[in-house]
Amino acid sequence: MLDARNVLADALNMQAEDVPEEASMDDVPEWDSLGHMRVVLLLEEIIGRSLNTEEILSLDSVQSFQHILDESLTVASQVGEGS
């Protein structure tokens, strides 16, 4: 399973171990407005689809990114199994 901390770290030019598991957008100085855009765009690239507005609004912590990653990649693997 892909770790959201790696996604955040990649987009924010950080080391994954420097992104706390419980971090929110308030806690990571590198997580600024342009950094947020890079993180969301990278997430969309990984899951292969655009996020809807409710999902965009939910993204404010490592856990919220992990939730979308887990959900999207699980759906993708189930689709793959069924075909």
Give the interface with other proteins as residue ranges (CB under 8 A).
25-26, 32-37, 40-41, 53-54, 56-57, 60
CA–CA distances in Å: residue 3 to residues 70, 77, 81, 82, 83: 9, 16, 22, 25, 26
Q: Min. distance of Cβ 53 from other proteins in angstroms?
A: 4
Q: Rg of the chain over CA atoms, in angstroms?
A: 13
Residue among 6 and 58 whose Cβ is closer to other proteins: 58
Residue among 50 and 77 whose Cβ is closer to other proteins: 50
Q: Min. distance of Cβ 61 from other proteins in angstroms?
A: 11
Tokens of 49: 């689809």
